[in-house]
């Protein structure tokens, strides 16, 4: 028994944001039916191809545990099949460009009329307003949601991050919206419309930066390195480099081997509670009592000196030795782990966060499994479907088409 067993999801998603959401729902046990254009499919199937002729990793890593029906929803027979699917399913998830579903003839009013209990969940780039008609990809959302203006160093250009907070982040937001709408439906008996705009999702994840924007009105952000360097603040939250976003100053520091290894670094947090232990560890016991270093406010203008001194110590250790020495002392540190190191991490493999999946076209590959662990709803990662792999079984077993009716649909060109 899985948490979402019995829930049928009509999955009109493509690229990354929507598929992230429906993959999670599939992992929690929902029957996710991915609707794709016959002969074409989700554009990512053929993007960044590494094995000629096979579905790309981009596609396979975002579409596990789903079924695929190849259906032309702009063709009359295709619309007939889609109408049946809408009546049959609990949730429709989509991340088309604004207006695409209306142009297809399946806007919210139509869906509600066909199935009043259906939940319709959408990712769009922007919510209602002047940008609502824009197409949006990951980095546009990172820029428009406040992430890029606050990422990077204050003397350099804005930066986008490697974490796909616009796409996968919004997919997560949407999945939560769907789960709570399913709970609300148990009381109301009605479906509802859910919108997760990517700009809003990114801004939600940048909440602490809006916090700092308002603190800035009251004076300089003293925990930012630029304060210690004497660089004046402007009128908006600046880029904070590798400063920690909270009240405990932190930095990325070099470790042994940094000259040749781009990831021989550690994150080091000078948490106030363990300051005396940090002083002993780095050979500066006198800083424990020195009024210039003993308290957090006294340390703020001296963070460069403090972290330079800590770095003299971390440079004598590998990033893992830093962890080994700091963890028993409760000093929060974190090694900068490369993708190679994560892919080889036995602990992550054991918990199912890194999984090996076998695929008929491409063979074995690694993927990120479900990062949310439910004790009563275990996840087995199943390979992504080939385009239209489940068309026949969905038409017959789920929609009940047989005989002449089935032949008519199959011969119409609406399915593949
Ligand atoms: N049968 C027939 N037609 C289909 C179909 C099917 N099964 N599935 C999709 N289509 C059609 C759509 O109806 C649409 O047609 P119209 O433009 O004529 O209405 C067309 O395919 C293309 O859809 P699209 O506009 O969504 O796709 P795109 O490649 O042009 O744009 C994207 C992609 C991501 C920019 C856009 O979908 C978007 O802005 N989505 C919302 C925001 C979002 O999710 N962005 C993140 C994507 S991940 O980085």
**Mutation pick for ligand 1 pocket among 18, 48, 100 (CB with most ligand atoms within 8 Å):** 100
Name the residue at shortest CA distance from atom 30 of ligand 1.
97
Instruction: Evaluate whether 315 touches 255 at the Cβ level (below 8 Å).
Output: yes
pLDDT, mean of residues 321-340: 98
pLDDT band at 210 (very low <50, low <70, confident <90, very high): very high
Instruction: Evaluate whether 179 touches 215 at the Cβ level (below 8 Å).
Output: no
Note the pLDDT tens digit of each residue in 349-383: 999 999 999 999 999 999 999 999 999 999 999 99
Instruction: Evaluate whether 330 touches 272 at the Cβ level (below 8 Å).
Output: no
β-sheet bridge partners, residue 34: 11, 68
Share of the chain above pLDDT 70, in %: 100
The pLDDT value given to residue 246: 80
Residue 212 vs residues 120, 169, 179, 219, 239: alpha-carbon distances, Å: 35, 22, 32, 10, 11
- List strands edge to edge, sheet with 119-124: 66-70, 31-36, 8-12, 91-94, 119-124, 193-197
Q: Would the pTM count as exceeding 0.85?
A: yes
- Residue 87 Cβ inside 6 Å of ligand 1? The answer reads no
How does the average pLDDT of the chain come out, rounded? 97
Q: Rounded to 5 degrees, what are φ and ψ at 170?
A: -70, -35
- Catalytic (active site) residue 167: yes
Residue 146 vs residues 95, 97, 137, 161, 199: alpha-carbon distances, Å: 22, 22, 15, 12, 8
Q: Is the pLDDT of residue 211 over 90?
A: yes
Note the pLDDT tens digit of each residue in 98-110: 999 999 999 999 9
pLDDT, mean of residues 147-157: 97
The pLDDT value given to residue 228: 87
pLDDT, mean of residues 89-96: 98
- Residue 137 Cβ inside 6 Å of ligand 1? The answer reads yes
* Ligand 1 centroid from CA 171, angstroms: 16
- Catalytic residue, chosen from 11, 31, 167, 200, is 167
pLDDT band at 244 (very low <50, low <70, confident <90, very high): confident
pLDDT, mean of residues 141-158: 97
């Amino acid at each position: 028994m899985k948490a979402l067993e019995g829930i049928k999801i009509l999955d009109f998603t493509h690229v990354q944001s929507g598929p992230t959401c429906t993959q999670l729902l599939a992992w929690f046990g929902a029957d996710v039916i991915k609707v794709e254009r016959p002969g074409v499919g989700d554009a990512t199937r053929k993007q960044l191809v590494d094995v000629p002729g096979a579905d790309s990793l981009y596609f396979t890593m975002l579409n596990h545990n789903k079924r695929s029906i190849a259906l032309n929803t702009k063709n009359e027979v295709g619309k007939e099949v889609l109408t049946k699917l809408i009546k049959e399913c609990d949730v429709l998830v989509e991340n088309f460009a604004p207006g695409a579903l209306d142009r297809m003839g399946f806007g919210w009013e139509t869906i509600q009329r066909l199935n009043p209990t259906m939940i319709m969940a959408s990712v769009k780039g922007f919510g209602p307003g002047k940008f609502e008609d824009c197409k949006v990809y990951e980095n546009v959302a990172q820029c428009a949601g406040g992430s890029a203006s606050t990422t990077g160093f204050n003397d350099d250009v804005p930066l986008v991050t490697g974490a796909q907070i616009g796409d996968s982040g919004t997919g997560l937001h949407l999945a939560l919206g769907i789960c709570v709408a399913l709970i609300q439906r148990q009381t109301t008996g009605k479906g509802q419309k859910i919108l997760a705009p990517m700009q809003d999702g990114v801004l939600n994840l940048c909440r602490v930066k809006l916090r700092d924007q308002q603190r800035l009105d009251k004076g300089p952000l003293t925990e930012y390195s630029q304060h210690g360097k004497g660089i004046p603040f402007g009128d908006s939250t600046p880029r904070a480099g590798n400063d920690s976003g909270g009240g405990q100053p932190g930095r990325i520091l070099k470790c042994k081997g940094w000259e040749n290894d781009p990831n021989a670094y550690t994150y080091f947090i000078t948490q106030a509670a363990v300051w005396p232990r940090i002083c002993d560890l780095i050979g500066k016991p006198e800083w424990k009592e020195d009024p210039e270093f003993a308290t957090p406010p006294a340390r703020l203008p001296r963070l460069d000196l403090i972290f330079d001194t800590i770095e003299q110590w971390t440079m004598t250790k590998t990033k893992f030795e830093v962890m080994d020495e700091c963890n028993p002392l409760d000093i929060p540190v974190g090694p900068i782990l490369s993708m190679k190191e994560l892919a080889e991490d036995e602990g992550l493999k054991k918990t199912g966060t890194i999984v090996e999946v076998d695929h008929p076209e491409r063979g074995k590959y690694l993927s990120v499994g479900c990062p949310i662990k439910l004790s009563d709803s275990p996840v087995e990662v199943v390979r992504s479907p080939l385009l239209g792999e489940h068309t026949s079984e969905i038409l017959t077993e789920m929609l009940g088409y047989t005989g002449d009716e089935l032949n008519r649909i199959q011969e119409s060109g609406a399915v593949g």
